[in-house]
Structures are given as structure tokens and as C-alpha cells.
Amino acid sequence: MPGPEFRLAELQAQLGGEIQGTVDPILRGVASLEHATAEQLGFVVGGGHLKTARASQAGAFLVASSQLAAELDRPCLVVANPHASFARAVALFHPETAIQPGTHPGAVVDATVTLGENCEIGPGVVIEARARIGARARIGANSVIGADTVIGDDCRLYANVTVYHGCHIGARVILHSGSVIGADGFGLAWDTDRWLKVPQVGRVIIEDDVEIGANTTVDRGALDDTRIETGVKIDNQVQIAHNCHIGAHTAIAGCVGIAGSTRIGKRCRIGGGAVIMGHFEIADDVTVSAGSFAAKDILCAGTYTSIQPIMPHADWLKNAAQIRHLADMRQRLSALEKRFTEIAQKES
């Protein structure tokens, strides 16, 4: 079935910006510069992509400036942020499938559950007692919603999502397959010769417009709640431990591990594979580079990196051998500094 098509002027009406060029082509999709056809839209971020754009078969371009448009031989839509406009264009050409309201016969929904209007409940779904599901929510196959959980309007839970009891999820939240919300935090107490489990009695609170990737886990709070604020975007296979607080519009890339009781500010960017130790605070507008190890508070906005660049193994072994002597070298340096200070004082 063919998808939507738009003239460039129609896209301008939706995306804003200014058209440069006299042709108003019909566009039936979006594509990378390398693979675009004459019926597709490409985007050009900067001058470094001009060579690729000129060689592209794209019928029109989204560009960041009139200067870039002047360098191209096809119609352009000049916008302030071509990447964001391109994302909106993709959504126009690829709208979500229409919701199919109703509860599948294979779902198990407790009699005390409240379902909003036009919900879609897939096969094998289990919704436990007193849960409340908002209007137009879509619950994918084999997902499990625990007792007393609240799911907001227009949420999308893909297949095999688990939301434990008592969690609160806001409107327009997307949870991808395999994500687990509200499992027990890693709370243990040592008792003479064995570990005792500390009951985890907090919740997970997820605010509006959050997206959480596949196989990501967000643990419930030990006493207080774990909270994910509005607009946070979390990639696949991320671990967020109990009592963490993630500020609004922060983005966390794949395979990040965040230990318990960490507070991350608003609009932060956490690179893939980063490790953030627990009970620390990260200020607003902080970027943590991929693979970094954060083991103390970060109280000022900026970019922080803590990993050594890759090197030949033999060189790494030599450097590691020197690291073992750092404490001794520090003591010797302190002794030398003290000696030089004494000599300088005598001479003065």
C-alpha cells in the first residue's frame, strides 16, 4: 500500500522554513543522501556534505542555510534545524499504524482494572488488580501490568514489557520490548554470615513523553521513588538503579549503568557504556562521554571524560606497571618538595 506523498510546499506548511528553487516536486519519502531517489527528500547538515548531496539523486533537500541551498541544483527547504525537521518529515511520511481498540480474547484483565476509551490490549497481556490504563493506550502482546499501576493516555507498550505493581507512568510514554519497570533494587544488608534482602517499597514514577529502549531496566525505590522526569530518552540495555532521579529531557545512550541514589540534572547527555557510581549528583547540561567512569559529583555544566584512549596491549602493560608505583612516586615527590622548601627558606 503506497504511503503519503507531499509537495515540497506542503512540507513547508508542516515544517516551516523557506523554499529556494522554482520547482515544487512531489515527494514520497525520505532517505539518506547516498540512497535517495528523485521522489525522496534528503538533508544536508553542513558544507562537508555538499559533495555527497550534489551526487545524490534526491529530489529536494532540507538545508540549514540559504548559502548551502545556493550550492545545490535542486529545490531546498531552508530550516533552522534540518536534523529536527528531517525527523518530523520522517514522521509525516511514516505515520503510526492506526490503533485497534479492544481487548484480545487471550488477554487476562482483572475485573477491578479501569480501561480508558479506545485502548488496544494485545494477546497474552496480563493486567492485575486495580490498575488504571489511560485512553488510547496500546499494550503489546504478553506484556504484564502489575497491581495498582497507572498507565497514562496515549502510551505505547510494545510486546513483552513488564511494569511491576504500583508504578506510575505518564502520558505518551513509549516502552520498548523487554523493558522492565519497577523490579526490586539491589538492596541487601550483611548479617553476620549472610545477606538479608531489604524490602524495596518505593515506586517508579515516569513522567510524560519519556521513551525507554528495549531490555532497559528501571528499579523501584527502596523507600522513596525512582523518578524519570518529562521528555527523558533512554536507549537499549540501560540499568537505572533504585532511588535514581533523572532530570527532564536528559538522553542516555545504550549500555549505561547508573548506580543507586544518583541524581542527574536536566538536559544531560550520557554517552554509551558510561558508568555512574551511586549517591552522586550531576548538574544540569552535563555531557558524560561514552565509556567514561563517573565516581564523584559533577556540579558544573560541561563535557566530562575519564577513559584512556585505546593503545597497543604492550604499551598498556607498561603504563599499568607504572601506575602501580604512583603512590610511592607521590611520597618521594612530596619529600623533594619539602626539602626544596626548607633549602629555599634557609637561603632567604
179 phi/psi in degrees, rounded to 5? -70, 145
Predicted confidence at residue 221, as pLDDT, reads 96
Helix (H) and strand (E) counts in the chain: 6, 39
| DSSP string across 12-68 | HHHH--EEESS---EE-EE--TTT--TTEEEEE-SGGGHHHHHH---SEEEES-HHH
Give Cα separations from 345 to 106, 269, 336, 339 (angstroms). Answer: 87, 50, 14, 10
Dist. CA 283–CA 269, nearest whole Å: 11
Dist. CA 142–CA 202, nearest whole Å: 25
Mean pLDDT per 10-residue run, the chain (348 residues)? 87 94 92 94 88 94 92 93 90 93 98 98 98 98 98 98 98 98 96 96 98 98 97 98 98 98 98 96 98 95 89 90 89 92 84
Nearest of 180, 133, 182 to residue 161 by alpha carbon: 180
Taking residue 173's Cβ as centre, other Cβ atoms within 10 Å add up to: 25
Predicted confidence at residue 323, as pLDDT, reads 86
Nearest of 205, 277, 214, 289 to residue 246 by alpha carbon: 205
Question: Residue 151: in which H helix or E strand, if any?
Answer: strand 150-151
Nearest of 62, 138, 127 to residue 99 by alpha carbon: 138
How do strand 156-157 and strand 174-175 relate by DSSP bridges?
A: parallel
Kindly provide the b/e burial profile for residues 90-121, where b requires at least 16 CB atoms within 10 angstroms of the residue's own CB. Answer: eebbeeeeeeeeebeeebebeeebebeeebbb
Predicted confidence at residue 308, as pLDDT, reads 77
C-alpha cell at 35: 540512497
Nearest of 232, 233, 147 to residue 182 by alpha carbon: 147
Dist. CA 128–CA 109, nearest whole Å: 6
Are 117 and 136 in contact by the 8 Å Cβ rule? The answer is yes
Domain ranges of the chain: 6-93, 103-304, 313-347
C-alpha cell at 268: 544531560
Taking residue 329's Cβ as centre, other Cβ atoms within 10 Å add up to: 11
Catalytic residues: 242
Are 229 and 248 in contact by the 8 Å Cβ rule? The answer is yes
How do strand 286-288 and strand 293-294 relate by DSSP bridges?
A: unpaired
Instruction: Return the CATH superfamily for domain 6-93.
Output: MurE/MurF, N-terminal domain (3.40.1390.10)
CATH architecture of 103-304: 3 Solenoid (2.160)
Nearest of 232, 308, 310 to residue 266 by alpha carbon: 232
Q: Is 276 helix (H, G, I), strand (E, B) or coil?
A: strand
Predicted confidence at residue 345, as pLDDT, reads 86
